[in-house]
Structure 1
Amino acid sequence: MSVPYGDTRPPFHKKQAFDLGDTGAGIMANDLKLGCDCLGAIAYFDGLIADEEGRPLKKSNAVCIHEQDAGLLWKHTNYRTQRAALVRKRELVLQSIITVSNYEYILAFILDQAGELAYEVRATGILSTQPIDPGVSVPWGTVVYDDVLAAYHQHILSLRIDPEMDGEHRNSLVCEETASMPLRTETNPYGNGYISQRQAVKTSGGYDLDSKKNRVYMIEISSKVNPVNGLKTAYKIHVPAFQPLLAQENSSHYKRADFANHSIYVTRFRENELFAGGQYTNQNKQTTGVRKWSARKDSVQDEDIVVWVQFGLQHVPRFEDFRVMPAEIIKVALKLVNFFTKNPATDFPPSSQKSNQSTLIRPSACKQS
């Protein structure tokens, strides 16, 4: 994760934290507290990491695993009989929390009964601020208290996905778009038809979303198809649109954040290419990361590929973010496409009051004077 700041005044023009990368998520992991960081029936796991001298270091309660209710997963009411069937969404959450100087990041893998895997990031903590003279305003920040400036900044994360789907290493990145059908008397006489089209990405590179075309990307298994519809099985990448890095191309911010200008990158797997920003970013003027690897234009169709998914926040601070910031939430999800012949969550017993044991609260009757 790169966090470039927009304050143009020296020395703040150099401010670009790599909150995940330089700092080290493991070394910053919190000791999670029972009933506070996680709720319900919880299992805790220690983390074993290397300290600054390479020695093993145990981080107590670095990961918590728990379930949580996330509303309805599916419901249908038979309109003839008025009988309803429904299943509540239960999520299995594997969570860790890191403190990086001023910010806290709550990082969670989330799995549900329908086979979806999500990666959720919550950003909270306190703003990184600079002094500003009374009565002065600048176009790149918000004054959040007397003589206190919170500069605009971005949080741009890169999620590395090295897929082995259904035991298969050789996969393709596929772009899917929906488009209107041409107005033809035979196939679209009333002009309302539209189609969905998939096309494999053939060479490594950086690619972007397009909401007007409903453009999404999938990791597709070329060798396996759904037995009913004959379509290839895949995982669809649900990633929110984000504003790419705003720093100019000749700036050190741009050169060091070697992943922050496209929503999706795809490369051929290479053993030593593990970090989107390159092997070393701390104090470097530039890196050799995914932007440069993808420029090789390797063939990536039906190959051992790595998909890099970028997402993040454009943080224009509010007065309400000071002193402690309410959590901003962003999430990437991987959704099954054509793996099953039915919704896998229909095998779960319907939810009922007997199991949920909700409590009815009756408002007190109004008293007449």
Structure 2
Amino acid sequence: MRPKRWQYLWVSAIALVLIATLTLRPAPAQSPPHPLDPLTADEIQTAVAVIKAAHPLSEEARFPNISLQEPDKGLVWAFQPGDALSRAAFVVVLEPVKNITYEAVVDLTTAELTAWNEISGVQPAILDEEFEVLSELAKADPRWQAAMQKRGITDFESAVVDGWAPGLLSPAERASGKRLMRGYTYYQPNYINYYGAPIEGLMVVVNLTDREVMEVVDTGVEPFSTANFDYDEETTAPLQPSPKTLTIQQPQGKTFTLEGNAVTWQNWKFRYILHPREGLTLYQVSYAKDGVERPILYRASLSEMVVPYAETGPTWAVKSAFDVGEYRFGWLSTPMYLGNEVPQNAVLLDAIMADDLGEPTLMEDVIALYERDGGILWRHYDFNNETHEGRRSRELVMTTVAAIGNYDYAISWIFHEDGMLEEQTDLTGIMLAKGTEDVTETHDHFGHLVAPHVVAVNHQHFLNFRLDFDVDGPANTVAEMNVATVPQGNSNPYGNAFAMETVPLTSETKAVRDMSMANSRTWMVMGAKENELGMPTGYMLMPGSNSAFFPAKESNVRQRGEFAGHHLWVTQYKPNELYAAGDYPNQSTPNQGLPEWVADDEPLAGEDVVLWYTQGVTHIPRPEEWPIMTVHKAGFKIMSYGFFPQNPVLNVAAPEPVLAAEAP
């Protein structure tokens, strides 16, 4: 799971120098920042300087996370432009030689350290430089070299050692207490898709604390592919003819407005941050109707993702990627290009994050914001009157794309005119494969042959989204809605009736729920207000395509990622409960995060509630997905349910009617 970010970081460094130069010029007085504005470069540097002044750190000290310490939720909702709220940074510090992790909070307004705590028994996310350390140590080890020579490879420079968080730990690895990584080797003589040439059966375990190889596992020689599995333009010639140009233009300008990190579009308002761990995070999502802004969500973000693999071999059974907590999903955000990942009319936005040394880094073009056509909004043609009424819909999309080793994930939040908010995940990239001797058998018990000597392994992706609802305010109640056939009898004499039943989820353990296609199951968050019809104002969580989590209950990946065992969890709001698998999933112990938080079974009725929705994809590989996958889409919708007393977009202006014969 090796990040590929070095190619553009030097550009970011130059840009930051320019920013620093500009900040030396006199600037007009500015109003206080919004409490949810992202950290600036100056604030990042202040946080690091304050910590180093209070607690002298070693030269090896690293900063896996420097992010905004979010202020009290109530104060944020009450904030008005011009108000001054103190700003703070949350910082994770790793002393790798001592193998100690600290958490700090720095008051950026007063430049004071307000919290400093050692967090025992945890390991922060993998650092960029640790991938390089792993590779250097592995290639210098005589056991690794012997394993490569046994496979006929003496050109070690043509090998790539790809780093993974350790996943399942052996008793000896757990007892060592050391910071560990696993390394998997690929052959890369002269092409980019080295994932197509795995050196099967070879795994290196590196002790990062002491900078030494702990173990080299070699289960025996399997053939590896030397074919060219590249997918760039030069290797896929002849290219098919390009389609006719399709241009997306907005000659009158954008409909949305962007002020700092606040977005206004039609009736929608929200704020955003690109968080180094979570990636794209939305705040204060509201919808205005008749001049009244009504809150829907306080915060929405990707909380965690777990990717279990089905292969049982000793070098595979240990694999399970927690891509948010182990690798920092947001930090691995990558640039996008107009006309490629996003349309030509997109606005590309930058973000500033801290690197592992605690230095601010400008990440360019890593967020896209754009409008697009959304198809039919509503229509009706009346044959009796020969009248037609219809409206075309527009959507606002905010997108980021993270590249985590072999896989690429695009996360998009899609705002619809009618008050619906949709999340869409696009999965693409390269499937993880193993080498095999068989080149004719098309089915492997735990994967499928996708090329000679290459089997792509069955796996799953389970993404958990943390949805902090505030529907018309923080006091909300959650209910489950199930549809069922009414038994035939006096109340259903013809057997055609079915009805929806609403059942309140009154406590946290009762709200651990799963999807049910048989009941068309959805969940509703109801506010304390009523609409004009006398029903509670609400928003409904409508699942999209999903899957069951297949690892056994006794498996390590399930015990550490139990959030994936259920599609819905609901908790009382706690500001520090942010990550479904716990704060530190790297080398974690079982039952962290959601299982721990719901154990006290707190009440939910009329409370400030957080919904945790788990979205699953089961991936059984196909040859058509090799050497690079076409996109697989998954997602869910948050839809109004009684939030409006009638269709909220009746007032959308009708376009001028154009018949096909009149079109240019």
The whole-number CA distance in structure 2 between the counterparts of 1:169 and 1:356 is: 50
Shift of 1:353: 4.8
Q: Which residue number corresponds to residue 308 of structure 2? A: 4
The whole-number CA distance in structure 2 between the counterparts of 1:326 and 1:277 is: 29
Kept in 2, the 8 Å contact 1:209–1:241? The answer is: no
Counterpart among 566, 569, 572 of residue 268 in structure 1 = 572
Shift of 1:113: 0.9
Spell out the pairing of 1:307-346 with structure 2 (5 A cutoff): 307-346=611-650
Do structure 1's residue 51 and structure 2's residue 359 form an aligned pair? no
Counterpart among 470, 482, 501 of residue 164 in structure 1 = 470
Q: Which residue number corresponds to residue 204 of structure 1? A: 508
Q: Which residue number corresponds to residue 364 of structure 1? A: none
Kept in 2, the 8 Å contact 1:75–1:86? The answer is: yes
Shift of 1:193: 3.1
Do structure 1's residue 277 and structure 2's residue 588 form an aligned pair? no
Counterpart among 562, 575, 587 of residue 258 in structure 1 = 562
Which amino acid is 2:529 matched to? K
Spell out the pairing of 1:1-369 with structure 2 (5 A cutoff): 1-135=305-439, 138-166=444-472, 168-183=473-488, 185=490, 187-205=491-509, 206-221=512-527, 223-228=528-533, 230-353=534-657
Shift of 1:153: 0.3
In structure 2, the CA distance between the partners of 1:38 and 1:190, relative to structure 1 (3 Å rule), is same
Shift of 1:339: 1.3
Secondary structure of 2:444's partner? coil
Q: Which residue number corresponds to residue 36 of structure 2? A: none
Please identify which structure carries the higher helix content. 2
Shift of 1:237: 0.6
In structure 2, the CA distance between the partners of 1:8 and 1:110, relative to structure 1 (3 Å rule), is same
Q: Which residue number corresponds to residue 204 of structure 2? A: none
In structure 2, the CA distance between the partners of 1:44 and 1:248, relative to structure 1 (3 Å rule), is same
Q: Unmatched 5+ residue regions in structure 2?
A: 1-304
Secondary structure of 1:254's partner? helix
Secondary structure of 2:402's partner? strand
In structure 2, the CA distance between the partners of 1:309 and 1:358, relative to structure 1 (3 Å rule), is farther
Secondary structure of 2:585's partner? coil
Kept in 2, the 8 Å contact 1:279–1:287? The answer is: no
Shift of 1:285: 4.3
The whole-number CA distance in structure 1 between the counterparts of 2:424 and 2:662 is: 28
Q: Unmatched 5+ residue regions in structure 1?
A: 361-369
The whole-number CA distance in structure 2 between the counterparts of 1:276 and 1:113 is: 31
Secondary structure of 1:2's partner? strand
In structure 2, the CA distance between the partners of 1:214 and 1:11, relative to structure 1 (3 Å rule), is same
Please identify which structure carries the higher strand content. 1
The whole-number CA distance in structure 1 between the counterparts of 2:435 and 2:333 is: 30
Query: Once the two structures are superposed, what CA deviation does each residue of 1:180-234 show, in whole Å capped at 9, x if it has no partner?
Result: 345554x54444333322111011031012222222111111x211212x11111
Query: Once the two structures are superposed, what CA deviation does each residue of 1:256-293 show, in whole Å capped at 9, x if it has no partner?
Result: 21310111001112222100111111233435111221
Q: Which has the higher contact order (CA 8 A, sep 6+)?
A: 1
- Of residues 21-30 and 346-355 in structure 1, the stretch that sits farther from structure 2 once superposed is 346-355
Shift of 1:359: 5.1
Kept in 2, the 8 Å contact 1:180–1:195? The answer is: yes
Kept in 2, the 8 Å contact 1:280–1:287? The answer is: no
Aligned length: 356
The whole-number CA distance in structure 1 between the counterparts of 2:384 and 2:427 is: 47
Secondary structure of 1:259's partner? helix
In structure 2, the CA distance between the partners of 1:130 and 1:356, relative to structure 1 (3 Å rule), is farther
The whole-number CA distance in structure 2 between the counterparts of 1:268 and 1:50 is: 31
The whole-number CA distance in structure 2 between the counterparts of 1:40 and 1:96 is: 16
Kept in 2, the 8 Å contact 1:258–1:278? The answer is: no
In structure 2, the CA distance between the partners of 1:252 and 1:74, relative to structure 1 (3 Å rule), is same
Q: Which residue number corresponds to residue 19 of structure 2? A: none
The whole-number CA distance in structure 2 between the counterparts of 1:51 and 1:242 is: 35
- Of residues 269-278 and 31-40 in structure 1, the stretch that sits farther from structure 2 once superposed is 31-40
Query: Once the two structures are superposed, what CA deviation does each residue of 1:151-206 show, in whole Å capped at 9, x if it has no partner?
Result: 1000000000111122x112111011223345554x54444333322111011031
The whole-number CA distance in structure 2 between the counterparts of 1:298 and 1:357 is: 64
The whole-number CA distance in structure 1 between the counterparts of 2:460 and 2:360 is: 33
- Of residues 52-61 and 156-165 in structure 1, the stretch that sits farther from structure 2 once superposed is 52-61
Which amino acid is 1:179 matched to? A
The whole-number CA distance in structure 1 between the counterparts of 2:375 and 2:543 is: 21
Kept in 1, the 8 Å contact 2:338–2:344? The answer is: no
Kept in 2, the 8 Å contact 1:276–1:289? The answer is: yes
The whole-number CA distance in structure 2 between the counterparts of 1:7 and 1:78 is: 58
Higher CA-based Rg = 2
Q: Which residue number corresponds to residue 365 of structure 1? A: none
- Of residues 68-77 and 187-196 in structure 1, the stretch that sits farther from structure 2 once superposed is 187-196
Q: TM-score, normalised by structure 2?
A: 0.51
Q: TM-score, normalised by structure 1?
A: 0.91
In structure 2, the CA distance between the partners of 1:191 and 1:247, relative to structure 1 (3 Å rule), is closer
Shift of 1:56: 2.5
RMSD: 2.1
Secondary structure of 1:347's partner? coil
The whole-number CA distance in structure 2 between the counterparts of 1:129 and 1:108 is: 28
The whole-number CA distance in structure 2 between the counterparts of 1:174 and 1:142 is: 42
